[in-house]
Amino acid sequence: MSPALPALVTPELLHTTLEASVLPVVVLDATTALATHGDLEPYTAAPLRDAYLEAHVPGAAFVDVTHELSDTAADELFTLPSSEALAAAFGDVGVGDDTHVVVYDNVGNAWATRVWWLLRWLGHDAVSVFDGGLGAWQAAGLPVASGGEDDAAVRATLRTLTPRVRPELLATLPDVERLSAGDAPGVLVNALDPETFRGEQAVCPYPRRGRIPGSVSVPLFELLDLSTGRLLPVAGLRERLQDGGVLGAERAVTYCGGGIAATLPAFAAFVVDGTEVAVYDGSLSEWTADERRPVDIG
C-alpha cells in the first residue's frame, strides 16, 4: 500500500485527515518510559497507558511497545519478534494491509519512530510519525480525549497485516561486526548521548561501558527542537546527518542501547531524502554482553 500521508505529519494535517474520514487511518500512542537503576544494572521500561487514559489524540489506541511489539522471551528488551507474531500484534490494534498508521509518543518521538521502523521492516510503508505528540497537538489548540473507549473501539476490529519483510532494514550482529572491523563498507552510528558514547555516563545500564569500535556519534536529541519535542526542519536534519556520514553512505547502520533511540536518526534520514538506514536491534545490550567483543572508551 502506497503512503497516503507523508512520513512526518503535522498536527494540522492529522486533524484535517481525521476530520475528513476519507482514509482508513489508525492513530497509535506508543508512549513509554525508561528507568535506570544501579550502575551496570539493566534499565526497565513501562508503557504509559495511564497517561494515555488521561489525555490522547481523539480516536487513538494505545500500543505497548515493550510487550505487544517485542519478543518478551528474548534476553534483551524490545527484541524484534518474528514477522508473523509482529504482524498479528499490529492486526490486534487495527492495522491491516489497507490501513495508514499514524504513530506518536509524548517523550521525544523515538518510541514512535520504533513503531514506524517495525512496520516498514514488515513491508508496510503506509505509516507516518506525528511530530511532537500530544504536546504539539495541544499547542495547536486541538481537543483531546480521555478514557479507554477509543482504544477499545480500535481493537474491536481485528485486521490482517501481511508480512513482506525487508531484511535490509535490520542489521544483524554479524553485519555490525563486519562494519566495526572495517570488513564491510558503510557507517556505524551511535544515537546515544555523548557521555554514553564515550563510556563516561554516570549510570550505565549495559554490561559494560563504551561504544562499538568504529562508530560515530549522532545523538538523537541533536535532531530535535528540545523546546517543542519536534524534529528539526529538514535543513537542520540534513546538516547533522551529513556531519555523521549517514547520508550518502553505502550502508548506514544505527544503534543505541536497545534499538529504540536508533530508529530516530533512521527516520530523520528517510525524511530528509528517502535514505534507508538499517537498525542494529540488539545494540549495546547485546554487544556488551559478550566480553570477547571489543568496546572503545573516550
Residues 188 and 276 in one domain: yes
Residue 2 has pLDDT above 70, yes or no: no
How do residues 201-256 score in pLDDT, each as one tens digit? Answer: 999 999 999 999 999 999 999 999 999 999 999 999 999 999 999 999 999 999 99
Length of the chain: 298
How do residues 110-133 score in pLDDT, each as one tens digit? Answer: 999 999 999 999 999 999 999 999
Residues 14 and 153 in one domain: yes
pLDDT number for residue 1: 56
Give percent helix, percent strand, percent coil of the chain, each to the nearest 5: 35, 15, 50
Exposure class string for 116-149: b at 16+ Cβ within 10 A, else e: bbbbbbbbbebbbbbbbbbebbeeeebeeeeeee
Supply the range of the domain harboring residue 54.
8-165
Residues 160 and 189 in one domain: no
Question: Which cell goes with 137?
Answer: 497537538
Count the domains in the chain: 2
Q: What is the mean pLDDT of residues 136-140?
A: 96
What pTM value is reported for the model?
0.97
* Cα 277 → chain centroid: 12
Residues 198 and 134 in one domain: no
Whether residue 31 is contained in a domain is answered as: yes
Q: Which residues contact 20 (CB under 8 A, 6 or more apart)?
A: none
Whether residue 53 is contained in a domain is answered as: yes
Q: How far is CA 256 from CA 2, 72, 90, 224, in A?
A: 30, 19, 24, 17
Which residues partner with 189 through β-bridges?
Answer: 216, 254
Residues 32 and 149 in one domain: yes
> What CATH number corresponds to the domain at position 234?
3.40.250.10
Residues 72 and 151 in one domain: yes
How do residues 48-81 score in pLDDT, each as one tens digit? Answer: 999 999 999 999 999 999 999 999 999 899 999 9
Residues 156 and 49 in one domain: yes
> Are 254 and 263 spatial neighbours (Cβ–Cβ below 8 Å)?
yes
Q: Which residues contact 290 (CB under 8 A, 6 or more apart)?
A: none
Residues 279 and 161 in one domain: no
Residue 192 has pLDDT above 80, yes or no: yes
Task: Pick the catalytic residue from 129, 134, 256, 264.
Answer: 256
Task: Examine the fold and report which residue of 103, 137, 165 is the final residue of a domain before the chain moves on.
Answer: 165
204 a catalytic residue = no
Residues 103 and 47 in one domain: yes
Residues 44 and 107 in one domain: yes
- Greatest extent of the chain over all pairs of C-alpha atoms, in Å: 56
Q: Which residues contact 265 (CB under 8 A, 6 or more apart)?
A: 189, 191, 218, 220, 223, 241, 244, 246, 254, 277
Task: Examine the fold and report which residue of 145, 165, 185 is the final residue of a domain before the chain moves on.
Answer: 165
